[in-house]
């Protein structure tokens, strides 16, 4: 019995409404043994340094489509993360991933549910997704690494439209009616702001280009709690003004020439705040490439740089960081890959970026040493991925 038939049987048992649709079960297992160093302090589960076994965005999902007639299809996807290394209370399931219902046709696709937010652009020039050195820690948007506001990879209660590809061009537009509710923030009845994203991309003949903008309504939401040690006091407790917003702008491009793929990305995060002099801004660049050594082997290299934060147009010194990542992949089969990856983050005195977060099972902000300077962590990882 092939996996599609098995998936239909499982879906019939678990999701009766989808039982008549064509259903596929899919997933990925991703484990790595990581050697961390250079962090300061402890995490909630133990030391941040030393060896760790990590499940990195491992997942299990069901997806499918049903012919509705008139050129329309009903589409769905239910996806959850899986803690391959073991979860709390012996449950293997972790957080919810992209999950939606929708309708597709010649006009494109409309879906609603838990959908990508920062994930829309965080992988545009990211050759270490889910590994140590994941560039989304820098390019996903936000301020100061783990020190200030971060933009979630996904958002609940979202509605999106994706156009059909026209000569390689695709347009995506998404809308979140109530940002505070969707992000699980404290509700403010006076400021129920919506958010939207708009993205256009071109991917054809080896050429890739993408432009994304996210306007995230954060009226009444505290951007920083002001409690992170070492973050300049001027950045503490900045609260967005009425109709305030966080705006993320991303531009990316690249070229795939067969034996290699190179890409670059520019991302700017900007937050309107209660006072004009308190607008927060930070810019990030990412450049990298992946190059084939043969049919089964490849090497990757990537560099990310976050500039200093600015506050009301004035530079806040020593709040940036840089990260270098290198890696080697060997495909044992079309579905199974082993790899080695290394990442080194160099934080300025007040930065809190880490190379072991986002899609990779993170260990939190690197912290500060006894003198109050930010730690600069590194990680060496040996991993295995298995797709099905």
**pLDDT number for residue 237:** 46
Per-residue pLDDT tens digits of the chain, which is 388 residues long: 455 544 444 444 555 544 456 899 999 999 999 999 999 876 655 568 999 899 999 999 999 999 999 999 999 999 999 988 876 655 667 788 999 999 999 999 999 999 999 999 999 999 999 999 999 989 988 777 754 566 788 889 999 999 999 999 999 999 998 877 777 665 556 667 789 999 999 999 999 999 999 998 865 555 544 333 444 554 444 555 555 678 899 999 999 999 999 999 999 998 876 555 567 889 999 999 999 999 999 999 999 999 998 877 788 888 899 999 999 999 999 999 999 999 999 999 888 888 888 888 777 788 888 888 889 999 999 999 999 9
Q: How many residues are there in the chain?
A: 388
Q: Are 309 and 143 in contact (CB under 8 A)?
A: yes
CA-angle at 75, arms to 74 and 76, nearest 5°: 130
**pLDDT number for residue 93:** 72
pTM (2 d.p.): 0.87
Rounded Cα–Cα distance for residues 126 and 135 (Å): 6
What CATH number does the domain containing 100 carry?
2.40.160.10
Which residues face 329 on adjacent strands? Answer: 298, 339
Specify the DSSP class assigned to residue 371.
T
> What's phi and psi for 339, nearest 5 deg?
-150, 160
Domain that holds residue 262: 3-387
- Chain mean position to CA 109: 22
Split into its structural domains, the chain has a count of 1
Q: Which of 342, 326, 243 is nearest to 291 (CA)?
A: 326
**pLDDT number for residue 87:** 67
């Amino acid at each position: 019995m092939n996996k599609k038939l098995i998936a239909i049987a499982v879906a019939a048992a678990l999701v009766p409404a989808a039982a008549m649709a064509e259903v596929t079960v899919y997933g990925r297992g991703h484990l790595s043994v990581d050697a961390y160093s250079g962090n300061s302090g402890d995490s909630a589960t133990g030391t941040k340094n030393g060896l760790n076994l990590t499940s990195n965005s491992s997942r299990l999902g069901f997806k499918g489509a049903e012919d509705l007639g008139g050129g329309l299809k009903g589409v769905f996807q239910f996806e959850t993360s899986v803690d391959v290394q073991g979860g709390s209370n012996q449950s293997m399931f972790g957080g919810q991933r992209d999950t939606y219902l929708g309708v597709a046709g010649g006009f494109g696709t409309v879906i609603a549910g838990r959908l990508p937010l920062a994930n829309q652009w965080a992988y545009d020039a990211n050759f270490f997704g889910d590994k140590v050195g994941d560039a989304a820690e820098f390019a996903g948007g936000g301020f100061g690494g783990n020190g200030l506001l971060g933009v979630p990879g996904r958002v609940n209660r979202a509605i999106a439209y994706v156009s059909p590809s026209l000569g390689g061009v695709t347009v995506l537009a998404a809308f979140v009616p109530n940002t505070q509710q969707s992000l699980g923030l404290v509700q403010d009845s006076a400021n129920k702001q919506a958010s939207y994203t708009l993205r256009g991309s071109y991917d054809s003949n080896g050429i890739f280009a993408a432009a994304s903008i996210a306007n995230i309504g954060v009226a009444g939401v505290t951007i920083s709690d002001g409690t992170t040690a070492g973050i300049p006091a001027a950045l503490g407790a900045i609260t967005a003004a009425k109709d305030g917003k966080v705006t993320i702008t991303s531009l990316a491009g690249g070229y795939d020439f067969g034996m290699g793929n190179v890409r670059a990305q520019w991302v700017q995060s900007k937050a309107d705040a209660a006072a004009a002099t308190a607008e927060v801004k930070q810019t990030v660049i990412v450049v990298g490439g992946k190059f084939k050594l043969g049919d089964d082997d490849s090497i990757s290299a990537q560099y990310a740089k976050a500039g200093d934060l600015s506050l009301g147009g004035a530079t806040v010194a020593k709040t940036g960081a840089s990260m270098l990542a290198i890696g080697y992949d060997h495909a044992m089969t079309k579905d199974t890959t082993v790899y080695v990856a290394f990442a080194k983050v160099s934080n300025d005195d007040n930065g809190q970026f880490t190379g072991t977060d986002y899609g990779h099972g993170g260990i939190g902000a690197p912290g500060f040493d006894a003198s109050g300077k930010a730690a600069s962590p590194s990680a060496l990882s040996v991993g295995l991925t298995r797709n099905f």
